[in-house]
Amino acid sequence: MRKKIIAANWKMNMTQSEASSFLDTFLRELGDEKTVEVVIVPAFTALSKVSERLSNTQGVRLGAQNMSAEKSGAFTGEVSGAMLRELFVRYVILGHSERRSLYGETDAVVNRKLHAAVEATLKPIVCIGETLEQRDAGDVEKVLAAQLKGSLAGLTAKEIHDAVLAYEPVWAIGTGRTATPEQAQEAHAFIRKTVGELFDETTSAKMRIQYGGSVKPNNTEALMRQPDIDGALVGGASLEARAFAEIVHATARCA
């Protein structure tokens, strides 16, 4: 049984004080929901505040939005895996489409970061997904297979034991246009099959695959009821504490 995992990718939003008031409301609304794993992924500057607030909250984990592939040294503006670990960060998002399209992160870069994350004992959330042009050209499977192969290169099944994948079709991110549950399921089933080919059946059966792209309280259940959708990576709707709690509760109803 794969435990469903819902992550709040706050992107470049939420100061420390905004994060704090979000958590006041969110944790109250969440109650003692334990069937779903929840991950809060703030900007680097709010990590320590959120970490402190979550230290006695069971079942809500902390994640980072990015990390360096390097261990330490002269890399101005970068943050290492060890720095994140010290703040009790458990998860790290790698290869988000905004990192890929705005900051030139290739599969090779994502792969180097993934190796660094594994070494730092951070659980990676590796993002993949096609653009609208690629979908219209009928290239969805080709794109996803190439991203998986490139991003996961050189890792063993044991090393990606704790990894999570996130299928985020670029055309559904921040657009209000969600993939239909059937479109998402089709992509997730293909991703799972490909993981089986790259590693083994046990790994693919265990691998959690999140969907991301305009997830809202009112479309969560239909997505989460699909057999290969194991959670969501939520952007816009994760900035509103009540909406995000509602997404977690809707997921719990499908767990």
68 binds ligand 13P (CB under 6 A): no
Q: Which of 126, 148, 229, 233 binds ligand 13P (CB under 6 A)?
A: 233
Is 86 an active-site residue?
no
- Per-residue contact string for residues 1-20; x = within reach of ligand 13P by CB under 6 A: --------x-----------
169 binds ligand 13P (CB under 6 A): no
**Residue 21 or 175 having the CB closest to ligand 13P:** 175
Between CA 63 and CA 85 the distance in angstroms is 10
84 binds ligand 13P (CB under 6 A): no
Residue nearest to ligand 13P (CB): 235
**Residue 166 or 199 having the CB closest to ligand 13P:** 166
Cβ-based neighbours of 137, under 8 Å, separated by 6 or more? none
212 binds ligand 13P (CB under 6 A): yes
Helix, strand and coil in the chain, % to nearest 5:
45, 15, 40
**Residue 96 or 192 having the CB closest to ligand 13P:** 96
3-state secondary structure string across the chain:
CCCCEEEEECCCCCCHHHHHHHHHHHHHHHCCCCCCEEEEECCHHHHHHHHHHHCCCCCEEEEECCCCCCCCCCCCCCCCHHHHHHCCCCEEEECCHHHHHHCCCCHHHHHHHHHHHHHCCCEEEEEECCCHHHHHCCCHHHHHHHHHHHHCCCCCCCCCCCCEEEECCHHHCCCCCCCCHHHHHHHHHHHHHHHHHHCCHHHHHHCEEEEECCCCHHHHHHHHCCCCCCEEEECHHHHCHHHHHHHHHHHHCCC
Q: Which of 174, 197, 200, 201 binds ligand 13P (CB under 6 A)?
A: 174
214 binds ligand 13P (CB under 6 A): yes
The single residue of 105, 130, 168, 188 carrying the catalytic annotation is 168
**Residue 123 or 203 having the CB closest to ligand 13P:** 123
64 binds ligand 13P (CB under 6 A): no
Between CA 149 and CA 111 the distance in angstroms is 9
The minimum distance between CB 127 and ligand 13P, in angstroms, equals 7
Q: In the window 129-168, what residues touch ligand 13P (CB under 6 A)?
A: 168
103 binds ligand 13P (CB under 6 A): no
Is 197 an active-site residue?
no
Return the range that interacts with ligand 13P (CB under 6 A); candidates 83-91, 99-107, 208-216, 219-227.
Answer: 208-216
Binding site for ligand 13P (CB under 6 A): 9, 96, 168, 173-174, 212-215, 233-237
Catalytic residues: 96, 168
